[in-house]
Amino acid sequence: MKKVLIIIIYIILVFLIVISIKYILKEFYWKKEAIKETKIIDTIEIDEKKVTKESSKKMLQVRSLKQENQDIIGFLEIENTNISYPVVQGKDNEFYMTHNYKKEKSKNGAIFLDKNYDWNIESNNLLIYGHNLNNGTMFQELLKYENEDYYKKHPIILFTTEDEEKKYEIISIFKSKVYNKQDDVFKYYFFINPKTEYEYKNYIENIKKISIYNIENTAKYGEELISLSTCSYHIKDGRFVVVGKEM
């Protein structure tokens, strides 16, 4: 009886070890894939003769990248960080949570623009989402902005489309959450295509009010914004958001 018990315990231990190794290898694979994405733009070779004032090298690289998937709308970077990814826009906000920028199934998901952003009007806020992964990839590094010194070292967000290169200076960093429909509170994730000056000013007023620390820079009506949003575990359904305005 004792020998049988020892054999059962041994089998259970071996099973747990195999499962653990499998999990570690999968996590290593997903991290490797995410890191590979951060370098993808540099692997795209461009004919230097095609580079002009109207079409920079990076714009041409985005145009070339778009040939892999027409949902690709740009490339997002924050210098000297791990945030350096293609940005896609799907027909919904679910698909790219489980697929990469090439539409392949992926635990990492992709960095994606809210489906409601309308490129045909002068929309004021590029609301971009990404996973907060424990392996330090995708938008996990956004949480480092909770430290003011980190913000001071990384105050600029870069976003390049096939038509233009833009820089955004950060004006607010805040924590929020996904609220219930009936909750009468500020919901940053509904601000994408503001129809009035009041909507815009109200958004700026709210994000400045709830900013983790004071940032002198602000925005005035008409200036384009970019909002980077990821999950945060300070509260149930928590979110961490970094907002910048076009320079």
Which pLDDT belongs to residue 225?
A: 97
Would 17 be classed as within a structural domain? no
Which pLDDT belongs to residue 12?
A: 72
Which pLDDT belongs to residue 91?
A: 95
Which pLDDT belongs to residue 65?
A: 92
Would 225 be classed as within a structural domain? yes
Which pLDDT belongs to residue 33?
A: 67
Would 227 be classed as within a structural domain? yes
- Summarised one tens digit per residue, pLDDT across range 90-144 is 999 999 999 999 999 988 899 999 999 998 887 889 999 999 887 778 899 999 9
Count structural domains, the chain: 1
Would 231 be classed as within a structural domain? yes
Which pLDDT belongs to residue 181?
A: 84
Percent of the chain with pLDDT over 70: 87
Strand partners, 239: 176, 231
Instruction: Give the predicted TM-score (pTM) of the model.
Output: 0.86
Tokens describing residue 227? 């909002």
Which pLDDT belongs to residue 44?
A: 82
Which pLDDT belongs to residue 184?
A: 81
In angstroms, the CA 216 to CA 244 distance is 12
Would 29 be classed as within a structural domain? no
Pick out the chain residues at pLDDT < 70: 1-2, 4-5, 7, 9-10, 14-36
Q: Domain with 231 in it: what CATH number? A: 2.40.260.10
Cα 232 to its chain centre, rounded Å, is 13
Residue 76, phi then psi, degrees to nearest 5: -110, 135
Which pLDDT belongs to residue 79?
A: 93
Which pLDDT belongs to residue 224?
A: 95
Which pLDDT belongs to residue 49?
A: 78
Would 193 be classed as within a structural domain? yes
Which pLDDT belongs to residue 73?
A: 96
User: Residue 93's domain spans which residues?
Assistant: 41-246
Would 90 be classed as within a structural domain? yes
Would 222 be classed as within a structural domain? yes
